[in-house]
Structure 1
């Protein structure tokens, strides 16, 4: 599949909404609406990754649904063979009355703004399972119990996508899009975490690594999407993240991607959005490979993403109009081959290679109809 992105379609939308940030949004009186958070820890010592996601859904009005409306999941790599492991999800379901969300210690009464520092708590408790996620200005703490797994830890200050609360969407975040994606931190330093299998009395401890933190909100996950994220170790401090796919509006749909790449040692800090670039994507979801070329006025970014089928999870849950349903597959063992070109002094049509990297232990996700055989949509 080959897709192009045009900013012209976005110019049809001019109504603004509240700011785009990590804090919770005020839920509307009627659905559909959802909000969800995602964290991935990259442990440099163990060459391992642990994921955490949680969120809640207000279903479409008039729908009688049995789908869970509040969920939390711990993701871990298991069944390892030759250093490649399958991603496995441990899930817990909750009801809205088992959930408490606060901002600055008070109920949510307004949408977040760009400039304010994130300060919220998301708590869920069913008695046997539960979790508490606390985000303050300079730290993140989490304490979750799902099934026989316990995940606890603390992160240091965020490494934001952009100054002043800016995220991947830039000014597009103020448009009434059906779905929003915000990256709060590209690589928060890991202070400590422990993952415990309570039944087996086995504990994994880590304190040398980083964590990626992000959030989605809107009507529902799209019909089709690709998401990826990864970092290098402290020797280079490289990070990248991308998300996009088929975005459905009331009367039309379009394909759009948001991409960011950072290499501070080469002074590279570039973003690609529908208003400043054109993205061409070739996706072979059955072979688990994606080739992306993003072109802006001065930069071209080429990314080749791939992983083995055995490293991908079974269907993970995602927010839909009726609640959380099986929606996507993901791997923490993907590889990203990245090349960055910059326009030379000879003009914008002559580009020079300025950076070439291969990152391992990358997160790669195929969702909706972009998953091989639409496995998770049946």
Structure 2
């Protein structure tokens, strides 16, 4: 069943890519790549929320459809701010990994306007098994997570999350993607990264039995990975400028359109690493001062790992640092992310590899400081137009880029 879409893509995707380079792109239908891609070997949905009290909430639904071991994965984390100078999650933090059965469902009319991902774990007598019943529903107005987790460590947990007021990658293009025209190569590229929202409004409630552990508002980064396989090594960075400032009242225009950036929010996100024997990055920086800037190959391509006049990188996982400089003809970004060294306090993550989710192939820190400098061309040189430090950022090293990554 999944072979037909892939064969069809061999004929259609190169043509779609060529048409996207012509004026016809304005009249061609735009695909929303956040919705399911039938035929893709794996798909994963990832949401990171920074709450008003400085906590991070993580929610992941992931499937490797033909994997022989742990083909599906559900993750929930409530990561409290650390105490003092100690790196990593603070007291009261919760980290849960579950490996239930997942099923995707499109809207009944096939319009792709609504879809859900549902999870259910068969009952188990093992005291070490997490039982999960969960759903993730997406429609044009909102995204809702509902999770019921029976865990040996934390007891019975109920999580309710609602995301509204989505901010697309490009504000005036609801279906915009970090990949730009390369998003047309759905099955001809081994891996895809789509950011559905750079800054959604989030409402979070976490209960343990009758006890409310967290009830807060926040700001959410929402993304998806899909494709054939994860790369050999990668880096991921995500940050907000301020702790979220969420308004209780909304204008009629925002309430009607459901798409509007949260005021005064600066965001940065990046993903990249080794792909097709090369190194390349996708990244975006949004701020009220300069608007939205995106960079992608060919500007961010490092052929065979060699720097170019347009892009240089420096990765030191043991030191917890990542640096990237990228420029086009008119714009330039210098990015530096730094987190605790030696992965101290970093959260281990299972990844959608061909054999399944039985691995610890990535580590994430949410104690990162992210520094972004934006420049515009001024004659033969560059003029600094924005200089931003972002606290409570996220930094991930995976595969070859993480010295602790391993298959379990």
Q: Does the C-alpha gap of structure 1 residues 164 and 188 become closer, same or farther in structure 2, counting only changes over 3 Å?
A: closer
Query: Could you tell me how far apart the structure 1 residues matched to 2:50 and 2:81 are?
Result: 18
Structure 2: gaps spanning 5 or more residues: 1-12, 18-29, 123-130, 246-262, 301-309
- Whole-angstrom CA distance in 1 between matches of 2:275 and 2:65: 20
Q: Distance in 1 between matches of 2:115 and 2:87?
A: 34
The alpha carbon displacement at 1:326 in A equals 2.0
TM-fit CA distance, 1:275? 2.8
**1-structure distance, mates of 2:148, 2:160:** 9
Equivalent runs, 1:189-338 vs 2, <5 Å: 189-190=201-202, 192-198=203-209, 201-207=211-217, 209-233=218-242, 234=245, 236-248=264-276, 253-264=277-288, 266-277=289-300, 278-308=310-340, 309-313=343-347, 315-324=348-357, 325-338=359-372
Q: 1:84 to 1:76 in 2, by over 3 A?
A: farther
Secondary structure in 2 matching 1:80: coil
Q: Over aligned residue pairs, what C-alpha RMSD do you find? A: 2.3
Paired residues of 1:227 and 1:243 also in contact (CA < 8 A): yes
Q: Which residue number corresponds to residue 147 of structure 2?
A: 144
User: Is the CA contact (8 Å cut-off) linking 1:21 and 1:118 kept in structure 2?
Assistant: no
Q: What's the CA shift for 1:337?
A: 1.0
Q: State how far apart, in whole Å, the 2-side matches of 1:39 and 1:183 are.
A: 10
C-alpha separation in 2, matches of 1:92 and 1:316: 12
Contact 2:77 2:95 survives alignment (8 Å): yes
2:133 to 130, 133, 142: 130
Report the counterpart of residue 55 of structure 2 in structure 1: 48
User: Which whole-Å deviations, capped at 9, do the CAs of 1:11-58 have from their partners, x for residues lacking one?
Assistant: xx9465994511111136xxxx100000011112x1111000011112
Alignment of 1:50-65 (within 5 A): 50-59=57-66, 65=68
How far apart are residue 79 of structure 1 and its match? 8.5
How far apart in 1 are the matches of 2:184 and 2:299? Answer: 16
**TM-score when normalising by structure 2:** 0.76
TM-fit CA distance, 1:164: 4.0
Match among 171, 177, 185 for residue 197 of structure 2: 185
CA distance in 2, matches of 1:326, 1:105: 37
Larger relative contact order (Cα-Cα within 8 Å, sequence gap ≥ 6): 1
Q: Is 1:343 matched up with 2:377?
A: yes
Q: Distance in 2 between matches of 1:138 and 1:363?
A: 27
Shift of the 140–268 alpha-carbon distance from structure 1 to 2, 3 Å rule, reads same
Taking the aligned partners of 1:296 and 1:72, their CA distance within structure 2 comes to 39
- CA offsets, 1:67-97, max 9 Å, x none? 20111001232593316552563111123xx
Match of 1:358 among 386, 389, 404: 389
**1:350–1:260 distance in 2 versus 1, CA, 3 Å:** same
Distance, in Å, in 2 between the alignment partners of 1:131 and 1:160 is: 26
Query: 1:103 aligns to what?
Result: 106
Structure 2 CA distance for aligned equivalents of residues 89 and 246 of structure 1 = 29
Deviation at 1:202, TM superposition (A): 4.7
Structure holding more strand per residue: 1
**Is 1:120 the counterpart of 2:115 in the alignment?**
yes
Instruction: Compute the TM-score of the two structures, normalised by the length of structure 1.
Output: 0.82
- Between 1:295-304 and 1:82-91, the stretch displaced more is 82-91
Equivalent position of 1:89 in the other structure: 95
Give, in whole Å, the separation in 1 of the partners of 2:80 and 2:264: 28
- Residue 221 of structure 1 and its aligned partner are, at CA, apart by 1.2
CA 1:375–1:181: 2 relative to 1, 3 Å:
closer
Question: Cα gap change, 1:185/1:84 in structure 2, threshold over 3 Å: closer, same or farther?
Answer: farther
